[in-house]
Structure 1
């Protein structure tokens, strides 16, 4: 598998999954079930997962696949793997708030090197190209023809007036306390991996996450931030956030433009 092989496949699968998700989103009421960890799952999560998993296994049968909706994959371990959250931001989907994404990423030696984040309700598509540069594509999002593509880049922040984005569904007092350590020009909330993408485009300087996440929640957004010149670091010691951890659970982390002077917890 080469990056030139990978990018068209994950772009297409993200768009196809987004179309299926929106059919359910725009349709009549849908059932919501609870998984063993009490997190919600819908028919849209399951349909998108089936579509993406089948496409990745057909295209790259020799590459390990980890996906949120397939618990058997959570015990797999390897240096190189594809990792998928077919519908990141299920709570935003359930409440029809639009801030949900399709996430597909490649991890190599603990680092998300390529990824795609598609927000179908927002009509925003972000991904890394084969050479590692992050871009935002605009247009009609044709499956076979790439539209207008613009390179994206993190901000050159003014540390006396930062733009901060935080979780919409998990914005708690611990998050507010950490944000309070900075000089803030504006603070907004967003759902799913859109927060990473706002950092990648320079629409936000800093995204702190003081709460539980899994690697499938973050890998694609992490790749997009890195490809835009940013960084994703652990909250506790500001070292790089790595992947392939036991049970794919993340520590708290910060996604940021490198010019931000990070505060200790």
Structure 2
């Protein structure tokens, strides 16, 4: 894989998809349909998926593409693949809460090596560079991002010296439950915040949070881009039970419960 070309492509596609999503988000009321698993889907999900899929297939025709909105792709298997969630956090989108993201990642031998997470309503753009380091790109003076010319980038690093007696924890906004709260209660927490979508990985990557536990169902397209970003910032995403690194390309693309953290956080 040509990582320079990959990053340029997925960055641009995420911005184009984000613009299409915001057209729907800022427009009049939109229809919300239910998929076979009862999760919501909107015209924004479908339009972003069509745009990203066409762009990736044109740029990388020989690379397997897995995307949430194309059920046929969920039966595919490959040692390396692109994986897409065109609109992660549809519940946040429907409720116009802003915590939704565009996610594109590249996985090889079970590891999410590169990825982009774009939160268009919040004006935050995160991605890995060709060398794997994670950055957040600063928006331009108009608050936006140029499609082809990246702006100033800030290298990201997890909090390498978290105070384990005063941790910053982030958890799901739409899927937080008693089991998650019970797990968080094992720690000495200075502040606990809620966020939607893959933004939670980004908050750990930037050092705005130290720990993100997820004791609920997720799919690989929900996590791959955020996982790649967090790894690029020195963090890790671990299986909740075994504490082994989360692997990708599993049959069905479902994830176990997991913990995303800065490595200096002492797990309980």
Which residue number in structure 1 is paired with residue 265 of structure 2?
Answer: 260
- Pick from 154, 157, 161 the counterpart of residue 153 of structure 1: 157
Please give the secondary structure, in 2, of the residue aligned with 1:29.
Answer: coil
**Cα deviation per residue 1:171-216 (whole Å; 9 max; x = unaligned)?**
1000000000000000000000000000000000000000000000
Please give the secondary structure, in 2, of the residue aligned with 1:91.
Answer: helix
Structure 1 Cα separation of the partners of residues 5 and 229 of structure 2: 18
Please give the secondary structure, in 2, of the residue aligned with 1:199.
Answer: helix
Which residue number in structure 2 is paired with residue 251 of structure 1?
Answer: 256
Equivalent residue runs for 1:84-99 within 5 Å = 84-99=84-99
Which residue number in structure 2 is paired with residue 48 of structure 1?
Answer: 48
Which residue number in structure 1 is paired with residue 168 of structure 2?
Answer: 163
Shift of 1:116: 0.1
Please give the secondary structure, in 1, of the residue aligned with 2:66.
Answer: strand
2:183 matches 1:178: yes
Shift of 1:5: 1.1
Shift of 1:86: 0.0
* Alignment root-mean-square deviation, CA: 0.4
Equivalent residue runs for 1:45-124 within 5 Å = 45-124=45-124
Shift of 1:237: 1.4
- Normalised to the residue count of structure 2, the TM-score between the two structures is 0.98
Shift of 1:148: 0.9
User: What residue ranges of structure 2 are gaps of 5+ in the alignment?
Assistant: none
Please give the secondary structure, in 2, of the residue aligned with 1:164.
Answer: strand
Structure 2 Cα separation of the partners of residues 178 and 237 of structure 1: 16
- Normalised to the residue count of structure 1, the TM-score between the two structures is 0.99
Which residue number in structure 2 is paired with residue 142 of structure 1?
Answer: 146
Which residue number in structure 1 is paired with residue 7 of structure 2?
Answer: 7
**Cα deviation per residue 1:216-242 (whole Å; 9 max; x = unaligned)?**
000000000000000000001111100
User: What residue ranges of structure 1 are gaps of 5+ in the alignment?
Assistant: none
Equivalent residue runs for 1:228-247 within 5 Å = 228-247=233-252
Count, aligned residues: 263
